[in-house]
Amino acid sequence: MKYYSTNKNAPLADLHKAVVKGLAEDRGLYMPEQIKMLPKSFFDNIQDMSFQELSYVVADAFFGEDVEAEALKQIVYDTLAFETPVVQVDGRIYALELFHGPTLAFKDVGARFMARLLQYFIRQEGKEQVNVLVATSGDTGSAVANGFLGVDGIHVYVLYPKGKVSKIQESQFTTLGKNITAIEVDGVFDDCQALVKNAFMDEELNKHMKLTSANSINVARFLPQAFYYFNAYAQMKKMGKADNLVMCVPSGNFGNITAALFGHQMGLPIKRFIAANNANDIFYQYLQTGIYDPKPSKQTLANAMDVGDPSNFARIYDLYGGSHEKVTSLISGATYSDEQIRETVLACYKQTGYILDPHGSCGYRALQEGLKDGEYGVFCETAHPAKFKETVDSITKGDVEIPERLAAFMRGKKESVPMSKEFNDFKAFLMSR
Ligand SMILES: *Cc1c(COP(=O)(O)O)cnc(C)c1O
């Protein structure tokens, strides 16, 4: 399979190049040249397949031309060693719980899949070690670090701002050891990002070691999220509730919903989609007006969705040939203030006992307001409420239980390398490795 750039001004890339480079030469995002339709027989039997089995069929359609069948199967089975259950919350509204992976983040799947795919390509070439640099404000660092943990041939450096990530988040990438090095930067997130960007541009450093990124726009990170939606459909079908299915995705950079839309293009019978936003309503405004007008991001309670210029908009635009009409006929939007997010967490808890996190809150509310007669709705619960314990407890006056997996991270011993925000210090450190 060849991949083209959404800016249409870069050479076609093969999968290996698209994964290692992440972004095309013209700063566009890579798109597969073809999206294969899956056969009717697959959808007829999907309810009897396991998450791993059905995901392998989807993965084969995307990556089967470029990765040997047995290796691809192993990558898929290794990545999806947990369940993403669909849980009834209220009437015709169901939660698709995407937070049962290693760091309780839905980004775990993409991170792990990318790690294993990169490892496959490195082994094929028998080349030297690859070093992944990632700057994080919290969640991405933990998903990437755990995804790459123990994957030989790859070393990961996670740069994070000192004192600016929560203890839970910090423990998820500073206690791992092995091939993961945490670097505690005396600065803010932007300083971390600047260090990473400078490192990629430094000639001497790139001669010294092979560097790559694990950015969320990487095809190997976003496409595997399509598995979630086939699995959700399978579970709803098993319950006899898959007709007129509405899928609602709390969105920030729009990678998750874009993967769902790829699934739809492959024949997945979802009737329509809702993109739920917090106060960062750029996509919502685009749906209303046809004009895409990025803005600086606003801080909200659902902070993983605080994005003012969603990177995957370019993919959605490209997928529908730039037609606003096509986009709006399939996707609608919703936008909620912090006040509404709080209100919804509380009301849902009181009425159903289900504890939403601030991101899922947007998804649940969008279905409550938008579901029509005869439709069933599934929203993605993208984070475990314990990850936003302070916020959630303050709303429900409760005490969300911290899952054992999180607690275990917090018991680990923190190890990180203190670093100034000066590039020369960071470079000297990497040159000494
Ligand atoms: C990353 C994230 C989102 C947004 O997903 P996108 O793919 O960027 O749209 C939503 N909720 C949580 C908890 C996240 O971590």
Could you report the per-residue pLDDT of 283-321, keeping only the tens digit for each? 999 999 999 999 988 999 998 899 999 999 999 999 999
What is the C-alpha separation between 133 and 196, in angstroms, rounded?
A: 6
Write down the pLDDT at residue 164: 86
Tens digits of per-residue pLDDT, 50-107?
Answer: 999 999 999 999 999 999 999 999 999 999 999 999 999 999 999 999 999 988 889 9
pLDDT in tens, 267-278: 999 999 999 999
Beta bridge partners of 94: 88, 378
Q: Report the chain's terminal Cα–Cα distance, integer Å.
A: 36
**Cα 31 to Cα 223: distance, rounded to the nearest angstrom:** 10
- In this prediction, residues 356-379 reach a mean pLDDT of 98
Ligand 1 centroid vs 307 CA: distance in angstroms?
Answer: 10
Q: Is 301 near ligand 1, meaning CB less than 6 Å away?
A: no
- How far apart, in Å, are the Cα atoms of 97 and each of 84, 156, 222, 257? 5, 28, 18, 15
The overall average pLDDT reported for the chain is 95
Structure-token match 């069948």, residue found = 69
* CA distances to 151, 169, 265, 319, 321 from 314, in Å: 31, 30, 17, 9, 10
What residues are annotated to the active site? 107
Q: For residue 348, which of 173, 107, 90 has the smallest C-alpha distance?
A: 90
Provide the pLDDT for residue 169: 86
pLDDT tops 80 at residue 157:
yes
- The single residue listed with the structure tokens 């339709």 is 37
Task: Tell me the whole-structure pTM to 2 decimals.
Answer: 0.94
Give pLDDT, residue 128. 79
Whole-number pLDDT of residue 301: 95
Sheet-wide strand order for 93-97: 86-90, 93-97, 376-381, 245-250, 272-277, 331-335
Determine if ligand 1 sits within 6 Å of the CB of residue 172: no
Residue type, 347: A
pLDDT confidence tier of residue 126, bands split at 50, 70 and 90: confident
The pLDDT value given to residue 137: 82
Atom nearest to 251 CA in ligand 1? 9
